[in-house]
């Protein structure tokens, strides 16, 4: 079997992760994956895909910290060395920025991880 051929049980990982990042069902891409901020639905409301096997655990939190740290730390250094703002102003701006970026990324990264698990048939996700 060559690298170009796809096994019958494989699912497109990139598409599933992108759908998950958008907080949509990794199968159909149109149904909402989340029923609250971080709670994954048991089944998709559109295609009835079983999502109850999702186990993201601490992965989204680690990825969120990694991304926010790698974005905000260099930005903090650039802002500090270029403009030398008052410490309280600098802290306030970057605290709000870190919290906002973290709250934005956390459910999206959880969706991407669930999409990856769905595409790779992990944790009980099975090919129909």
Structural domains of the chain, count: 1
Q: DSSP character for 126?
A: -
* Domain assignment of residue 33, yes or no: yes
* Domain assignment of residue 51, yes or no: yes
CA–CA distance, 29 with 5 (Å, rounded to integer): 23
* Domain assignment of residue 56, yes or no: yes
Q: How far is CA 84 from CA 1, 52, 70, 72, 79, in A?
A: 60, 50, 21, 16, 7
Three-class DSSP category at 60: helix
* Domain assignment of residue 6, yes or no: no
* Domain assignment of residue 4, yes or no: no
**pLDDT computed for residue 7 by the predictor:** 53
Q: Which domain holds residue 74?
A: 13-119
Q: pLDDT truncated to tens, each residue of the chain (128 aa)?
A: 444 444 546 799 999 999 999 999 999 999 999 999 999 999 999 999 999 999 999 999 999 999 999 999 999 999 999 999 999 999 999 999 999 999 999 999 999 999 999 999 998 888 76
**pLDDT computed for residue 128 by the predictor:** 61
């Amino acid at each position: 079997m060559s690298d170009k051929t796809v096994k019958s049980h494989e699912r497109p990982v990139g598409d599933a992760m992108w759908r998950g990042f958008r907080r949509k069902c990794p199968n159909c891409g149109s149904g909402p994956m989340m029923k609250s901020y971080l709670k994954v639905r048991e089944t998709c409301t559109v295609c009835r895909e079983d999502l109850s096997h999702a186990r993201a655990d601490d992965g989204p939190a680690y990825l969120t910290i990694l991304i926010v740290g790698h974005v905000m730390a260099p930005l903090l250094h650039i802002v500090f060395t270029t403009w030398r703002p008052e410490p309280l102003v600098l802290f306030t701006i970057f605290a709000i920025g870190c919290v906002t970026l973290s709250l934005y990324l956390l459910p999206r990264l959880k969706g991407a991880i669930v999409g990856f698990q769905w595409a790779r048939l992990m944790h009980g996700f099975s090919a129909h």
